[in-house]
Amino acid sequence: MKNSNKLKQTTDRIILFFIYLSAFATALILVSIIGYITYRGLYRESRINKEILESRNIEYEFDNEKYIFLVNKTLKRNSLNITELDQILEKGIKNWSSVSETRAKIKIISLFRKEKEINRTYDIRNISTAEEMIKIFKSEPGTIGIIPLSARGKINLKNLKILYLDKNCVAAGYKVTEIINNSRLAVLSEKDLVKITNGEVSNWKEVKGHDIPLEMLSTADQVAKSSGGFAVVDYRKAVESGVSIIPVSYVRKGANFTPGFLFDKPAKAGKAGGISTIIINTLFMIVLTLLFSVPVGVGAAVYLTEYAAAGKVLKIIRLGIETLAGIPSIIFGLFGFIFFVDILNMGIGLLSGSLTVAMMIIPVIIRTSEEALRSVPLSYREGSLALGAGLWYTIRKIVLPAAKPGILSGVILSIGRALGETAALVFTMGFDYRLANGIKSSARVLSVHLYQLVREGISFERAFATAFVLMCFIFIINTATIALVSGKTKYGEKQ
């Protein structure tokens, strides 16, 4: 008897522990989701692997002469790597937008006394005075000015900056990058690179490589012949000699979400720029959706609470609403795709998408509005009817105003659902991230944008920033709903 009691107590305790654990875990899940998205949304710490080191050299050597490159300060790049520079000089790249977030035509000018070898190789316009050069910089923001290193002091750098050049790489002996036991040294961290150049490393295994002695060398050709050699060499020479190049991973830290992200247009499939047009498209979608769904939803709720008499018809209507609420969004998407896009010939765009989402949120609006209408005291209706008012007049003047906070909170709740919808929108509203220019224009909304960024692997940083914005909206909506429900109406307390 005593034993069984003890056993019972133990089981009780285990069960109790489990209950508390579940409750705690539920809270923890939400907190972690919000915390993680906020953290990664605001702050980024990502690694980029680069074959060409960020060596930030200032001069460019051509034909045994040294030059520096000048650009406008407003340009969003501080450095170019050697291959990018070659492409620019050879006119493979004609606009900054392909290597930077700045949109400007690239124009190359130089300040040489006489025609040089470099002018003949590349199409470069010669400028005679420093003043003229500065004038061109002003009128053509995408200008690159090439001046000999020796002429550096002659130019006023007030609105200009030096464009640094990344041209070195890590060369390693042939054994270092060999695959042994399914593993190889694929990348070197920035820290390890510093360690090696400081001479603190004598074996490759100290930097996560194979067990090969590390030999400090100075040219690419030397490294190419060695088994465990190491040297920082000119990238072009390394490529020529065929030596193996080890990329270095750089850690990028800093703010991920910036105000600019909200106000800039997206560019390059979302890889660059912000989400301003996508936010506006989302607003368009929500306004249209509410336009279609609120009158129908509130109207239906008024009918159900104020007019409908119990019976078969009412049962069918209720079953219809419940069924509609349970249909998965992909089915709505399919239906929207055949019915609105195809049969009604609305095309993939705002109108089709909004109508599709409107169908999905009608049950939410009906349910919350009905609750709000039912909570309006019967005595209000009686008082009005006893004064000789009609039912519709009473509903309009007394019942609906009194139920307004509840109805509004339902509407806001349904905005939250519309905001998060993805599956139904992909094939009814489309992916275009430009600003919608009409009711039939394809338009990408926040959730679809997030989905695209992740699925196409475009940019996880941008995805986190987008998710952060989306979560902020959801949080605001949730808080507003609660504030409305627990708040007071204009005239007197909530009943």
Partner 1 sequence: MKRINTADKHGKGIQVFLFLFAITSVIIVLFISFFIFYRGFPLFKNHSFIKFLTSSTWDPMADKPEFGILSFIAGSFYVTGVSLVIAIPMGIGTAVYLAELSAGNTAVILRRIVELLAGIPSVIFGFIGVTVLSGIVRFFFGGTGFCILTGGIVLSLMILPTIISISEVSIRSVPSELKEGSLALGATSLQTIFRVIIPAARKGITAGIILSIGRAVGETMAILMVAGNAPVMPDSILSMTRTMTMNIVTDMGYAEGEHMTSLFSTAIVLFVFILIINLSVNYFTHRIGNEKQQ
Partner 2 sequence: MRDDIIKVEKLDLFYSEFQALHNINLTIPENKITAFIGPSGCGKSTFLKTLNRMNDLVEGCSITGGVLYRGNDIYREEDVFTLRKNIGMVFQKPNPFPMSIFDNIAYGPRVHGIASKNVLHEIVEKCLRDVALWEEVKDRLHKPALSLSGGQQQRLCIGRVLAVESEVILFDEPTSALDPVSTSKIEDLLDKLKKKYTIIIVTHNMQQAARISDRTAFFLHGRIEEYDDTEKIFLNPENKTTEEYISGRFG
Binding to partner 2 in span 355-384, by CB under 8 A: 377, 379-384
363 part of the interface to partner 1, by CB under 8 A: yes
Pairing status of strand 248-255 against strand 266-267? unpaired
Which does residue 493 touch among partner 2, partner 1, none (CB within 5 to 8 A, set by kind)?
Answer: partner 2
> Residue 463 is encoded by which pair of tokens?
């995805």
Per-residue x/- mask for partner 2, residues 274 to 313, rule CB under 8 A? -----------------------------------xx---
Pairing status of strand 160-162 against strand 65-72? antiparallel
Q: Which residues fall within 8 angstroms of residue 207, CB to CB, at 6 or more apart?
A: 185, 188, 189, 192, 195, 196, 201
Residue 197 CB burial class (10 angstroms; 0-12, 13-18, ≥19): middle
347 part of the interface to partner 2, by CB under 8 A: no
Which does residue 295 touch among partner 2, partner 1, none (CB within 5 to 8 A, set by kind)?
Answer: partner 1
Report the nearest approach of partner 2 to the CB of residue 491 (Å): 4
Which does residue 131 touch among partner 2, partner 1, none (CB within 5 to 8 A, set by kind)?
Answer: none
DSSP at 396: I
Which does residue 491 touch among partner 1, partner 2, none (CB within 5 to 8 A, set by kind)?
Answer: partner 2
Of 259, 388, 455, 457, which lies in the binding site for partner 2, with binding defined by CB under 8 A? 388
Residues 370-389 that bind partner 1 (CB under 8 A): 388-389
227 part of the interface to partner 2, by CB under 8 A: no
Count, residues in the chain: 495
DSSP at 165: E
Of 454, 458, 472, 480, which lies in the binding site for partner 1, with binding defined by CB under 8 A? 454
Report the nearest approach of partner 1 to the CB of residue 177 (Å): 26
Nearer to partner 2, 115 or 493 (CB): 493
Burial call 417-436: b when 16+ CB within 10 Å, e when fewer: bbbebbbbbbbbbbbbbeeb
Other residues' Cβ atoms within 10 Å of the Cβ of residue 344: 13
Beta strands in 406-450 (DSSP E): none
452 vs 129: CA distance, rounded Å: 50
Of 6, 7, 29, 218, which lies in the binding site for partner 1, with binding defined by CB under 8 A? 29
Lookup result for tokens 């509005």: 369
169 vs 403: CA distance, rounded Å: 70
247 part of the interface to partner 1, by CB under 8 A: no
Which does residue 435 touch among partner 2, partner 1, none (CB within 5 to 8 A, set by kind)?
Answer: none
Residues 120-139 that bind partner 1 (CB under 8 A): none
441 vs 288: CA distance, rounded Å: 13
491 part of the interface to partner 2, by CB under 8 A: yes
487 part of the interface to partner 2, by CB under 8 A: no
Which does residue 379 touch among partner 2, partner 1, none (CB within 5 to 8 A, set by kind)?
Answer: partner 2
C-beta of residue 136 within 8 angstroms of C-beta of residue 127: yes
Which does residue 259 touch among partner 2, partner 1, none (CB within 5 to 8 A, set by kind)?
Answer: none
Residues 390-419 that bind partner 2 (CB under 8 A): 390, 393, 397-398, 401-402
18 part of the interface to partner 1, by CB under 8 A: yes
Other residues' Cβ atoms within 10 Å of the Cβ of residue 290: 20
DSSP at 308: P
Query: Which residues of this protein are in contact with partner 2, per CB under 8 A?
Result: 309-310, 377, 379-390, 393, 397-398, 401-402, 489-493
